[in-house]
Structures are given as structure tokens and as C-alpha cells.
Amino acid sequence: MYSFSSLLTLAVALPALVAAELSGKVGPTTSHATKAAIKTCDITKYGAVADGKTDISTALNSAFTACKAGGVVVIPTGNYAMSQWVKLANGNNWALQLDGIITRTGTDAGNMLMIEHSNNFEMFSSTGKGAIQGNGYIFHKQGSISGPRLLRVWDVTNWSVHDISLVDSPAFHFSIDTCTNGEVYNMAIRGGNEGGLDGIDVWSNNIWIHDVMVTNKDECVTVKSPSKNILVENVHCNWSGGCGMGSFGTDTAVSNITYRNIYTWSSNQMFMLKSNGGSGSVSNVVLENFIGHGNAYSLTLDEAWTSMKTIAGNGVQLSNFQISNWTGTEANGKARGPVKVACAAKAPCHDISITDFSMWTESGTSQFYSCENAYGSGFCLKSGTSYAAYAATTQWVSKAPVGYTAPTMAADLKTAFGTTQSIPIPTMPASFFPGVLPITKLAGSK
């Protein structure tokens, strides 16, 4: 088991290791400084006013048109309103510098800001204070999540989004759709305590997501199908739904996924894979260095997830999962034990390895481990290569494992954000996992 000093050493060395876990380089191919030397397009020069009420969509579109072939579109410090959504398409060699705050004032569904069909793109804040404020509570207090997503990138290659905050989305916060060679880092996402307000959803190829904090009641950072070569690390799920994969259905195609240095506080789960029927496969998955406190579920691979409708098919085939170095506590180990691996009867999972896993219950004096149709090593997993279906087995323990204690983080929330009042824009935390500094220095830091 790693010590926290060794985790810090590991984090410092990570840039040299990334290429081995991704399929190639990620991020823009030229810097935003190089792009700015070509051209800078300040939206206030195209009619935008930082008065918090004048719609900036026309000015933003005009600035983009002027800089889409090479340059930087700048939204300077100030408070801006957006009532019409903006689609910035077919740009190459460009960047969007968000130093101001964009507040949603329109009510359409869709995507407030959508970047599509672009190459060599970067969205960032030079100060670390740029944000999109969705004011989703206006929808949510009426029982609706039918408003827009805040940010979506679609069919974008060689790109990054970093050092910005996404706050109180009416719906999903950030969707990464069919993209390649992307990097997402140094981000704070803060949403309401309601389902359907996902933090980061990704279905793409060769994506590195690191140093992010997510607050909501649904997905923290979740991989969906199809995806491959995804590296997720240094994540603080801070009163969230938690990280995971799925929900999976027909023709699932997910491979080469790593989650590392994941800290989960008072959330639904530390990691959950969800499916119910369906087909396809999920293979070559690494889940290492997880810390949890106060979560309902810990490690859950559930291929009979009752909250989703059963889909035709023999089930999604899971194979080669390496799960290691989990510490901390779950909310109630008697109600929901820290390990559940329940695979499809017609597609039993295999080559599942669970090592250095030490978690204990916060309530009561016992917990259990459950396995079904699952083969590998560790806890209740069955050995052998027959891969025959078998009924669920349960192992109960009444003694805490050695080494389960784990640190907490200064930014841990005491309560969730509700759904009836505005959620404040957060200050970017100094760290996203105990004892580990951000891989890339935070914008605006000394």
C-alpha cells in the first residue's frame, strides 16, 4: 500500500508515465500564446457589455468568426449574460479565454456553449476565476431539469479545457462527446443536490482528465460507451454521485480505462459500473488509490442494476479489472458492503483482481462482501477458468481490516447545496487528492 508521501512522489512523476496509459499526446498542438500572436478577438470590441444583463451571444459569435482560423477569443474580466446559446463550429488553431463570468439568462434546452468540429483548441482562464453560472436552481425549485447543459465539446481533436468553474447547471455540466486527444484539468464543478446534474461525462478516445472537484448528486466523472484510452486521476467527488462507468446497453465498447487518486466524500458511490442486460464488453480497467468517507456504496460492479430498464442481450462482458489500494470508510457496511461484484449470468466477468483493499463501516460493527458470476482473486471472487454462472455469495466480517484509516480534505463540504437558491462560484482548491499537488500549476497561483 502506498504512503501519502509516495503518492506525492508518484504524482510528480506522472507526466512521464502518461504516454504509457494513453494512446498518444493530448492537448492543443500549439499554445494559446502562439495563437494570441496571430490574432486576439476581445468580445467587448464586438459589442459585448459586462453589465450582467446584455446578451453576449452575437458578440461572441462575431469574435469567433474573426479568430476561428487562428487566434484567441477573449472574454475579459467582468459579469456577462447569455440568453441565446452559442455554437462555435469548424474552428482550427484557436482558443477561448474565459476570464469573466457568463451567467445564463435564457431558458432554452440544448447547450449554452458548444464547441464542435474543431482542431487545436483550448478553453481556459488566465486567472483561474473564469466561470459559467447556470443558475439552475430557477429550474430545479420548480422540479425541472429540462434546461441546458453548460458546456459540450463534440468532435474536437487536440484540445484542452482548464482552470475554469462550471456552476449550478440546469442539466449536465460538461459533456465530452466523440472527441480525441483531449485534456481536462484544474476545474471546479458545483451543482445542485439532485439527480440528472452530471459533472463530467466522457465518451471519447485518448482523454486525460485530472485535478477536478465535482459537487452534485449524480455522476462525478463518468465514462460512457464508446470509449477507450481514458485516464482519470486526482479527482475530489465532494458530496456527489461519485465516479463510475455506464449505464451500459447494446454494443458496449469500452477499453483501457484508468481511474487513479480518487477521493470521494459523502457521495453515492466511490465507483460504480451499471448495466442491466445489453451486449459488448468493458476490458482493461485499473481502479487504484481510492479514498472514501461517508459514501453509500464503495466498489460496486452491478450488471443487474435495478434503476435501469432491462435491455435485450446476454450482458456486457467485463474482463481484466485491476483494483488496488482502497482505504477509508463506508456509511453503513451492514446495509451496503464495500465490495459488490455482480456480473451477468450469461457473461460472467473474469480476471478481476482486488488487492490492498481496506475499508470499514462508519455505522455498526460488521460489513459484507458480495460476488455473483465473478471470477478472479480477492474477497469473494471465485478462482478458476470455467466462468460458469453461480448464485450470489456473501462474506460477513465483524473486525475492521488493518490500515483502513485515511485522511480527509479541507474542502470537504459540511452539507450539500440545495436546489432552491443560487450556488456560489467556488475558489479553486489547492489540491484534489490528499497529499498530492495538481499536475499542472493552477492559473493565477504564485
Please identify every residue annotated as catalytic. 218, 293
Full DSSP string of 122-137 = EEE-SSS-EEEE--TH
Residues in a beta bridge with 156: 118
Length of the chain: 446
Rg (CA), the chain: 22
Full DSSP string of 288-348 = EEEEEEEESEEEEEETB-TTS--BSSS--EEEEEEEEEEEEEES-TTTS-SEEEE-BTTB-
Q: Burial level of 286, CB count in 10 A (0-12/13-18/19+)?
A: middle
Contact 392, 342 (CB under 8 A): yes
Intra-chain end-to-end CA distance of the chain, in Å: 33
Q: Burial level of 106, CB count in 10 A (0-12/13-18/19+)?
A: middle
CA neighbor of 167 nearest in space, from 202, 142, 201, 130: 130
- DSSP 3-state assignment of 46? helix
Contact 409, 154 (CB under 8 A): no
